[in-house]
């Protein structure tokens, strides 16, 4: 999460809450039908309240290029002009979201596919132009999410599946990073549920050596994170992911895990899984 996206809201955690998993999947999992199949099956097998958040940046880039629209990303964030907004609306809100919902239904999860505009669940602010004009990109703020509305949907038996689209309340859809949406939902819903946020991607977790799957770092605190950044052990997409993850931990989310989508089943069997974030000792 960059600074302008930071969710500064501090939730009031209550004792004895019901548990909730908020699980985000990224573009590399979505792009691999076998991995996606296994992930959605394991997601269905988890007990309790659940919310799925999906990205799909890789698919959007491919579809845009097929349509002759060049993808432009700055610090991992897509410059979203009006043509690109049309593409991401079709890809995130349509193609990916509806396929995921259909697959979840097959496994028995009564999923309901959503953008932030549906039910006014996530209202964002169009990112102000500073040095870069990101176009139709939405930043989430502390009043973006009303946890009671989302809770009502879950209490009625539905499992929300959010894509990476929000709205500004004035009729405009906005493209919003899926990692940030997952973190903001987790912070907001922590006021009602004991919330665990899980980022699933294609690697075992945060690795000491990105080319060695056996080099999993089992736990990271903010101090350790700073060292890993200086040593350039963590870079590219993992930086905003961890920024979002530490924001969630600091704002009342019970646990945050970053791990491989194939290993989600470990959670049900109480086996260790991925990299767990912690506060400074
Ligand atoms: N130390 C690290 N361990 C694991 N992945 C890392 C590390 N440093 C950078 N990365 C990169 O971060 C990427 C995950 O970020 P991103 O592509 O934004 O995820 P997602 O697919 O969930 O959107 C990995 O594919 C990997 O290339
Ligand atoms: C503003 C912005 O950058 N939005 C992201 C939303 C999709 C996303 O987050 O996808 P992954 O999780 O697969 O990376 C994008 O369009 O790429």
Examine the pLDDT at 56 and tell me if it is beyond 70: yes
Atom 15 of ligand 2, residue of closest alpha carbon? 57
Q: Which two tokens stand for residue 260?
A: 């491989």
- Secondary structure element (H or E) that encloses residue 211, with its range: none
Mean pLDDT, residues 90-111 taken together:
98
- Give the C-alpha separation, 237 to 218, whole Å: 19
pLDDT at residue 13 in the model? 41
Q: Is the CB of 245 under 6 A from ligand 2?
A: no
Q: Is the CB of 205 under 6 A from ligand 2?
A: no
User: Would you list the domain boundaries of the chain?
Assistant: 3-277
pLDDT at residue 106 in the model? 98
pLDDT at residue 76 in the model? 85
Banded pLDDT at 280 (limits 50, 70, 90): confident
Average pLDDT, the chain: 93
pLDDT over 90, % of the chain? 90
CA of 58 to the centre of ligand 2 (A): 8
Banded pLDDT at 16 (limits 50, 70, 90): low
Q: Is the CB of 27 under 6 A from ligand 2?
A: yes
| Ligand 2 mutation pick, 56, 185, 237, max ligand atoms within 8 A of CB | 56
| Ligand 1 mutation pick, 203, 208, 214, max ligand atoms within 8 A of CB | 203
User: CB neighbours of 19 closer than 8 A, spacing ≥ 6?
Assistant: 48, 49, 193, 194, 195, 196
Q: What is the pLDDT of residues 149-194, one digit of tens each?
A: 999 999 999 999 999 999 999 999 999 999 999 999 999 999 999 9
Write the DSSP assignment of 128-157 as a string of letters: PPSSS--BSBEE--TTSB-HHHHHHHHHTT
pLDDT at residue 19 in the model? 96
Mean pLDDT, residues 94-120 taken together:
98
- Give the C-alpha separation, 57 to 34, whole Å: 18
Examine the pLDDT at 203 and tell me if it is beyond 70: yes
- Give the C-alpha separation, 237 to 71, whole Å: 16
Examine the pLDDT at 246 and tell me if it is beyond 60: yes
pLDDT at residue 48 in the model? 95
pLDDT at residue 4 in the model? 44
Burial 221-257 (b: 16+ CB within 10 A, else e): eeebbeebeeeebbeebbbbbbbbbbbbbbbbbbbbb
Indicate if the alpha-carbon torsion angle 266, 267, 269, 271 is positive or negative: positive
Does the model's ipTM exceed the 0.85 cut?
Answer: yes
Residue 198: beta bridge partners?
23, 257
Q: What is the pLDDT of residues 27-45, one digit of tens each?
A: 999 999 999 999 999 999 9
Examine the pLDDT at 9 and tell me if it is beyond 90: no
Banded pLDDT at 12 (limits 50, 70, 90): very low
Atom 17 of ligand 1, residue of closest alpha carbon? 237
DSSP 237: T
3-state DSSP assignment of residue 72: coil
The larger pLDDT score, comparing residue 137 to residue 1, is at 137
pLDDT at residue 279 in the model? 87
- Give the C-alpha separation, 178 to 57, whole Å: 9
CATH topology of domain 3-277: Carbamate kinase (3.40.1160)
Q: Is the CB of 178 under 6 A from ligand 2?
A: yes
């Amino acid at each position: 999460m960059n600074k302008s996206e930071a969710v500064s809201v501090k939730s009031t955690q209550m004792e004895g809450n019901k548990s909730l998993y908020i699980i985000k999947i990224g573009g590399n999992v979505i792009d691999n039908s076998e991995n996606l199949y296994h992930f959605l099956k394991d997601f269905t097998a988890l007990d309790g309240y659940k919310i799925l958040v999906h990205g799909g940046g890789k698919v959007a880039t491919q579809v845009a290029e097929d349509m002759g629209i060049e993808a432009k990303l700055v610090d991992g964030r897509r410059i979203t002009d009006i043509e690109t907004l049309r593409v991401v609306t079709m890809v995130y809100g349509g193609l990916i979201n509806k396929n995921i919902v259909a697959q979840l239904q097959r496994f028995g999860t009564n999923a309901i596919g959503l953008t932030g505009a549906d039910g006014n669940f996530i209202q964002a602010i169009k990112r102000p132009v500073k040095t870069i004009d990101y176009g139709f990109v939405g930043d989430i703020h502390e009043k973006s999410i009303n946890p009671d509305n989302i809770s009502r949907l879950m209490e009625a038996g539905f499992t929300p599946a959010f894509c990476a689209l929000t709205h500004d309340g004035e009729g405009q859809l906005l493209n919003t990073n899926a990692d940030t949406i997952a973190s903001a939902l987790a912070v907001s819903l922590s006021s009602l549920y004991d919330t665990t946020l899980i980022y699933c991607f294609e690697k075992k977790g945060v690795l000491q050596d990105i080319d060695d799957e056996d080099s999993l770092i089992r736990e990271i605190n903010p101090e350790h994170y700073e060292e890993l950044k200086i040593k350039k052990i963590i870079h590219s997409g993992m930086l905003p992911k961890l920024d979002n993850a530490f924001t969630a931990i600091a704002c009342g989310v019970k646990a945050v895990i970053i791990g491989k989508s194939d290993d989600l089943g470990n959670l049900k069997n109480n086996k260790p899984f991925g990299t767990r974030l912690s506060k400074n000792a």
